[in-house]
Amino acid sequence: MTTTPNEQYFSASPSSDDVRRTLHVKLRGRKLDVQTSNGVFSSGRLDLGTSVLLRHAPMPPAKGVLLDIGCGWGPITLALAMESPEAEVWGIDVNERAVGLATENAAANGCGNVHAVLGDQLPEDLAFDTIWSNPPIRIGKQALHELLMAYLPRLKKGGEAYLVVQRNLGADSLIPWLANELGDGFTVGKYASSKGYRVIAVVRR
């Protein structure tokens, strides 16, 4: 079966060969070597949207429970773990290969506070102080909405989420939709714009 890269990265088990490559990346000022592979999101470089999020998101809390939705090979998860080494950082993905890579990259870069797991392995009772995500827009609007609403309501009171979404892929329409769905206990708005992307802030009051 032939699949496109966009189909593969949100497949549970990519059909492509697991061919590892090393990337040299810079995450919030820190230079790292990481492993990527076929069948995971942005395997050949640090994704531009992820770069925008990492450039603009404010410092996460020093302690608490932090979440990366759609972790891929782990750039956002690693950035959270290095910014907040005393926090508990969770990276989730539907892609088994991505979760494995994120786990290996965390270990290789000394991030012992990382748990990279499949979404259904995330403890159901966890609530989050901060969520950062470059969400998988290409899974489709309905699936994206379901994914975001599975985790954003689990923000703690005072907790914040920062999502990066390409402007021409619906960032501006996502803001009022999230505000309506999350309701009066949340504020949702544009936090930053850069290179055709919006960073959306969601705060639980």
126-160 residue pLDDT tens: 999 999 999 999 899 999 999 999 999 999 999 99
pLDDT exceeds cutoff 50 at 5: no
Sign of CA dihedral 159, 172, 194, 53: positive
Tell the residue number behind the tokens 């230079």, with chain if given.
31
Mean pLDDT, the chain, whole residue set: 94
Q: What is the pTM of this model?
A: 0.94
* Cβ(182)–Cβ(188) below 8 Å: yes
| Of 10, 28, 167, 158, the residue nearest 97 (C-alpha) | 10
> Nearest 5 degrees, angle CA 149-CA 181-CA 136?
40
pLDDT in tens, 10-27: 678 888 999 999 999 999
Please report which helix (H) or strand (E) contains residue 54, including its range. helix 48-56
pLDDT exceeds cutoff 80 at 172: yes
* Cβ(99)–Cβ(86) below 8 Å: no
pLDDT value at position 15? 85
Q: What would the mean pLDDT of 111-124 be, rounded to a whole number? A: 97
Start-to-end CA distance of the chain, whole Å, equals 48
pLDDT exceeds cutoff 60 at 106: yes
Distance, in Å, from the CA atom of 9 to the CA atom of 145, rounded to the nearest integer, reads: 18
pLDDT value at position 7? 43
pLDDT value at position 8? 52
Q: What would the mean pLDDT of 171-180 be, rounded to a whole number? A: 96
Per DSSP bridges, beta strands 21-27 and 186-194 are unpaired
pLDDT exceeds cutoff 70 at 56: yes
pLDDT value at position 3? 36
Q: Is 182 helix (H, G, I), strand (E, B) or coil?
A: helix
The pLDDT > 70 percentage for the chain reads: 95
pLDDT value at position 11? 72
Residue 82: pLDDT band by 50, 70, 90 thresholds? very high
pLDDT value at position 1? 30
